[in-house]
């Protein structure tokens, strides 16, 4: 268990080489990297455990993931982390049937996104729409130079049906956002660049596969800081959906254990000031005893990485740079409810083998966003003879759903999937997770907001902002952002604003 013992109530002061605020995946990766570059690193975390949104519990034979459910090892930094962690953690991969079979709710029925011979054989859209998709793959009009929303770009390239029934539910499943408002260039930077340049996506893909991928500066830096530990099995996991036998929380727990200095848990950074060439972070810390008096203290360092959400970052930066608050608070965030439902296998008469299903905006099923078939993806998430589902409910930035009781939300989730999956009887296990304004939405104008933020904080040397509001929301993205933030903090990486260009 993490050490949450509070220091004395008298103000204490310590000097270190770098302070990291936040022990989510970004902060932990940044701290782990910094321990290879500088001597003393202090990590402050407001929760009593590492991982941020990554959290796992075990209940009555069920394994509940309370944040991300699975990881695609798409970034070099994450794959390198996996090389080191896999010596202590057991990696599990998704059932091949689950990985290959995903569904969309269409007119109240589940329809596979891919048919038996690929996306062109699905029943989601007709022959005309499939011909339009095929034509778009072979040749389609490049996009304008200015920022474009995801729905418009996909519709222009591949047709409205593909955007409506395939891309729209996919985006809702990732960030619960409306792809008609989300920026292609901010959400998918590489796709945004290609959209403005490429006429034939198919030929561009073929050419990219024929070219040997260059090692790149990031890989060279990884090799220098974390020498590769080659593993034949890991090389095959690049395109797999992975987790760990004990759940995703095993990864941040392992990462925290690798730090030279323990994370200071239950410790809230309350203010930041700058003295000469150092940042002074004031914090409060409360012990595991609710009755204990909160302790206060300060820590000083020439370098500071802030990985907290946008609203918390805006508050912390107020004394240092009041102008930075405006672009931060203007970033929209979605709220979400996840309802875990455990059933006996016989209670789900129409549950298919697959990863789960998503609900497009045009389908009248609000607030249902989709459902993950957790135990069909990873069988150890439910005991023998049982199934575990994760039902997602949300209404974008509307927070009213969060005000309902657990019983009301469980009833909502149960009723929403009952007809679709043939549910008979009440669940044997339930749990509700609420996420209030948690998921940053990269809406149109997002890149301008981030550019403004970077300009405002540029004079603050040694300060690095690395929240999910700027460079990706997936676990793999967050690990990559943590590595890049550590390099910048140590003065050997590029400025943070370039990671969104």
Work out the pLDDT band at 500, boundaries 50, 70, 90. very low
pLDDT over 80 at 111, yes or no: yes
CB neighbour list of residue 486: distance below 8 Å, 6 or more residues apart: 29, 30, 31, 33, 34, 37, 305, 493
pLDDT over 60 at 1, yes or no: no
Indicate whether 115 belongs to any domain: no
d(CA 127, CA 353): 27
pLDDT over 80 at 347, yes or no: yes
How much is the average pLDDT of 76-92?
Answer: 94
In percent, how much of the chain has pLDDT > 90?
Answer: 79
Query: pLDDT tens digits, residue range 317-335?
Result: 998 999 999 999 999 999 9
In percent, how much of the chain has pLDDT > 70?
Answer: 92
CA atoms within 13 A on the CB side of 414: 20
How much is the average pLDDT of 43-67?
Answer: 97
Range of lowest pLDDT (67-76, 209-218, 388-397, 477-486):
209-218
Residue 272 belongs to a domain with what CATH number?
Answer: 3.50.50.60
CA 495 to chain centroid, in Å, comes to: 22
Instruction: Please state, in angstroms and as integers, the Cα–Cα distance from residue 220 to each residue in 76, 211, 256, 312, 314, following that order.
Output: 10, 19, 24, 34, 34
How much is the average pLDDT of 470-499?
Answer: 83
d(CA 447, CA 361): 25
Work out the pLDDT band at 425, boundaries 50, 70, 90. very high
DSSP structure string for 277-320: TEEEEEEEE--SSTTSPPEEEEEEESEEEE-S-HHHHHHHHTTT
Indicate whether 201 belongs to any domain: no
DSSP reduced 3-state for 468? coil
Task: Give residue 7's pLDDT.
Answer: 42
d(CA 133, CA 146): 24
* Residue 138 phi, psi (nearest 5): -80, -40
Query: pLDDT tens digits, residue range 179-194?
Result: 999 999 999 999 999 9
Q: Partners of 271 in the beta sheet?
A: 282
Task: Give residue 61's pLDDT.
Answer: 95
d(CA 185, CA 149): 8
Task: Give residue 277's pLDDT.
Answer: 86
pLDDT over 70 at 397, yes or no: yes
Please say whether the beta carbons of 234 and 83 come within 8 A.
yes
How much is the average pLDDT of 249-277?
Answer: 95
Work out the pLDDT band at 229, boundaries 50, 70, 90. confident
Task: Give residue 494's pLDDT.
Answer: 62
Work out the pLDDT band at 13, boundaries 50, 70, 90. low
Task: Give residue 14's pLDDT.
Answer: 72
How much is the average pLDDT of 429-448?
Answer: 96
Indicate whether 295 belongs to any domain: yes
Indicate whether 317 belongs to any domain: yes
CB neighbour list of residue 202: distance below 8 Å, 6 or more residues apart: 137, 138
Instruction: Please state, in angstroms and as integers, the Cα–Cα distance from residue 368 to each residue in 105, 174, 196, following that order.
Output: 10, 14, 34
How much is the average pLDDT of 124-138?
Answer: 94
Indicate whether 285 belongs to any domain: yes
What does pTM read for this prediction? 0.92
pLDDT over 50 at 11, yes or no: no
Task: Evaluate the omega torsion of the peptide bond into residue 473 and state whether it is cis, within 30 degrees of 0.
Answer: no
Indicate whether 458 belongs to any domain: yes
Indicate whether 31 belongs to any domain: yes
Q: Which one has a higher pLDDT value, 119 or 343?
A: 343
Q: Residue 316 sits in which domain range?
A: 13-53+70-75+248-330+443-500
How much is the average pLDDT of 365-377?
Answer: 96
pLDDT over 50 at 264, yes or no: yes
How much is the average pLDDT of 27-56?
Answer: 96
- Number of domains forming the structure of the chain: 1
Indicate whether 253 belongs to any domain: yes
Work out the pLDDT band at 2, boundaries 50, 70, 90. very low
d(CA 439, CA 396): 10
Task: Give residue 235's pLDDT.
Answer: 74
Task: Give residue 495's pLDDT.
Answer: 56
Query: pLDDT tens digits, residue range 191-224?
Result: 999 999 999 999 988 887 776 555 578 889 999 9
């Amino acid at each position: 268990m993490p050490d949450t013992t509070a220091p004395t109530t008298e103000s204490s002061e310590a000097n270190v080489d770098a302070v990291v605020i936040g022990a989510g995946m970004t902060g932990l990766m940044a701290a782990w990297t910094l321990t290879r570059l500088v001597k003393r690193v202090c990590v402050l975390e407001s929760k009593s455990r590492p991982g941020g949104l990554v959290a796992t519990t075990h209940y009555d034979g069920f394994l509940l993931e309370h944040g991300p459910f699975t990881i695609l090892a798409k970034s070099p930094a994450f794959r390198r982390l996996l090389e080191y962690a896999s010596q202590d953690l057991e990696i599990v991969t998704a059932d091949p049937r689950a990985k290959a079979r995903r569904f969309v709710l269409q007119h109240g029925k589940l329809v596979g996104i891919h048919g038996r011979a690929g996306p062109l054989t699905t029943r989601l859209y007709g022959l005309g729409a499939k011909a339009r998709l095929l034509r778009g793959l072979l040749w389609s009009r490049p996009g304008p130079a200015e920022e474009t929303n995801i729905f418009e770009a996909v519709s222009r390239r591949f047709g409205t049906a593909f955007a409506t029934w395939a891309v729209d539910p996919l985006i809702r499943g990732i960030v619960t956002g409306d792809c008609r408002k989300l920026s292609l260039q901010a959400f998918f930077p590489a796709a945004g660049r290609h959209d403005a340049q490429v006429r034939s996506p198919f030929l561009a893909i073929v050419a990219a596969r024929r070219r040997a991928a260059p090692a790149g500066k990031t890989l060279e830096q990884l090799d220098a800081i974390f020498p590769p530990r080659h593993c034949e099995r890991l090389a095959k996991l690049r395109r797999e959906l992975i987790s760990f036998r004990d759940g995703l929380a095993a990864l941040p727990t392992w990462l925290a254990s690798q730090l030279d200095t323990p994370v200071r848990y239950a410790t809230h950074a309350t203010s930041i000031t700058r003295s000469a060439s150092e940042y002074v972070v004031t914090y409060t810390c409360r012990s595991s005893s609710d009755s204990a008096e909160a302790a206060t203290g300060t820590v000083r360092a020439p370098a500071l990485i802030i990985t907290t959400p946008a609203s918390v970052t805006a508050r912390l930066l107020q004394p240092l740079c009041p102008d930075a608050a405006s672009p931060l608070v203007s970033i929209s965030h979605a709220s979400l409810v996840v309802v875990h439902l455990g059933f006996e296998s016989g209670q789900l008469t129409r549950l298919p083998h697959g990863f789960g299903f998503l609900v497009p905006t045009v389908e009248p099923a609000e607030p249902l966003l989709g459902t993950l078939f957790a135990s069909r993806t990873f069988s150890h998430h439910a005991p023998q003879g049982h199934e575990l589902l994760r039902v997602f409910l949300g209404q974008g930035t509307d927070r009213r759903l969060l005000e309902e009781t657990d019983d009301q939300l469980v009833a909502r989730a149960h009723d929403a999937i009952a007809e679709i999956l043939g549910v008979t009887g009440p669940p044997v296990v339930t749990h509700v997770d609420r996420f209030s304004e948690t998921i940053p939405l990269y809406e149109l104008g997002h890149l301008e907001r981030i550019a403004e933020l970077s300009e405002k904080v540029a004079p603050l040397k040694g300060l690095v902002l690395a929240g999910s509001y700027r460079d990706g929301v997936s676990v793999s993205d967050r690990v990559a952002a943590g590595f890049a933030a550590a390099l910048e903090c140590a003065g050997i990486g590029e400025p943070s604003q370039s990671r969104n260009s």
